[in-house]
Amino acid sequence: MDNVNIGVKVKPYDSGAQARGRMRGGFWLVVLGAALWGVDPLFRVILLKNLTSAQIVLLEHIIISLIAIPVLWRNRVELRGIGWRHVGALLFISWGGSALATILFTMGLSNGNLNAVLLLQKLQPLFAIMLASLLLKEKLPRHFGILLIVALAGTYLLTFGMTLPIGHWNDFVQIGSLLSLGAAALWGGSTVMGRLMVGKLKYETVTSLRFVLALPLLTFMTWNEGAAWNMPAFGTGAFAAVSLNLIGQALLPGLLSLLVYYKGLTTTKASVATLAELSFPMVGVLINWIVFQEVVTSAQLLGFLLIWIVLFVISRQSESSERTLS
């Protein structure tokens, strides 16, 4: 039916408002996905008592692949149009971000100062920003350098409080810290490669490929490691505990977090997403308080506040930028 003008102004379909809503919603989905990573150490540290880093990551990927393979089969038509550039991005995400980075981080948890390992993870934005600028030609938010410094200051306060690491630099150069730095570089690069891929494939397809493609590499690394499998006897309480931890690790901070993360990444720039990922240390503070009864200090509260101020400012900038373009 044709529209008839009867003297009443009808507000046109506001596609710009919808686009802004999607961008804003995507940003906070990235925040939520990264926040779910905060429960990761709860499972991983317990599993390290029975398994090696490579064994944990391999089993985690096998569990998730049982869910991912049917998704890939259903979306197999999408794979016909990808080029070598996208294949390279997928291999970086799966081999680098999913396999190697997770192994490096797991090894770091058992080979160094935990505070140093966690703090060095906050260097991910630096790697992601450089790659996003080079590969995706993304324009950074206004005053991004200042916002980044404020966010990193917040993560420092969350990790170390008001203490200066003077006289403790060995915590930053030991093997655990170097492993963590490698993981940060790979995860930062995966943020950029993930942003490249979600424009080509559905976010659930990218998530599934991340785990399935990593299986051959993880199998080779675990076999080459030659370590004995120290799983408890089947049917015992210890076996049930390890199994539940593996499933919980795979599904919560593993699969669910990445599904939410890549969904949000479809409407969020990589340089912005990498700051949204700083929600991870805030969740770590809450878990320490709730699970381990560690009192949250005033410095940690200040760090929490600084990071959320940065996230809020960037979210408002994204909304304002989209409004200007629409």
Over the stretch 184-200, which tens digit does the pLDDT of each residue have? 889 889 888 887 787 78
Residue 14 lies in a domain: no
Number of domains the chain is built from: 1
Cβ distance 35 to 283 under 8 Å? yes
pLDDT, tens digit (0-9, with 9 covering 90-100), for 285-305: 777 677 766 667 788 788 878
Residue 241 lies in a domain: yes
Least reliable range by pLDDT among 15-24, 84-93, 213-222, 247-256: 15-24
Residue 186 lies in a domain: yes
pTM metric for this prediction: 0.72
Q: Cα dist. 65→17, 215, 230 in Å?
A: 38, 9, 23
Residue 324 lies in a domain: no
Q: Which pLDDT value is given to residue 164?
A: 66
pLDDT tier for residue 320 given thresholds of 50, 70 and 90: low
Mean pLDDT for the chain? 79
What number is the average pLDDT over the span 105-128? 74
Residue 3 lies in a domain: no
Between 180 and 271, residue with greater pLDDT: 180
Residue 36 CA to residue 262 CA, distance in Å, equals 13
pLDDT tier for residue 270 given thresholds of 50, 70 and 90: low
Range of the domain at 187: 30-318
Phi then psi for 95, rounded to 5 degrees?
Answer: -75, -40
| DSSP per residue, 46-67 | HHTTTS-HHHHHHHHHHHHHHH
Residue 16 lies in a domain: no
Question: Which secondary-structure segment (H or E) carries 75?
Answer: none
Residue 6 lies in a domain: no
pLDDT, tens digit (0-9, with 9 covering 90-100), for 123-173: 777 788 778 878 777 777 788 888 888 888 887 787 677 776 655 555 555
Residue 278 CA to residue 118 CA, distance in Å, equals 11
Residue 11 lies in a domain: no
pLDDT, tens digit (0-9, with 9 covering 90-100), for 219-267: 999 999 988 888 888 888 889 989 999 998 888 888 888 788 878 877 8
Residue (of 315, 100, 75) closest to 197 by Cα position: 75
Residue 216 CA to residue 296 CA, distance in Å, equals 42
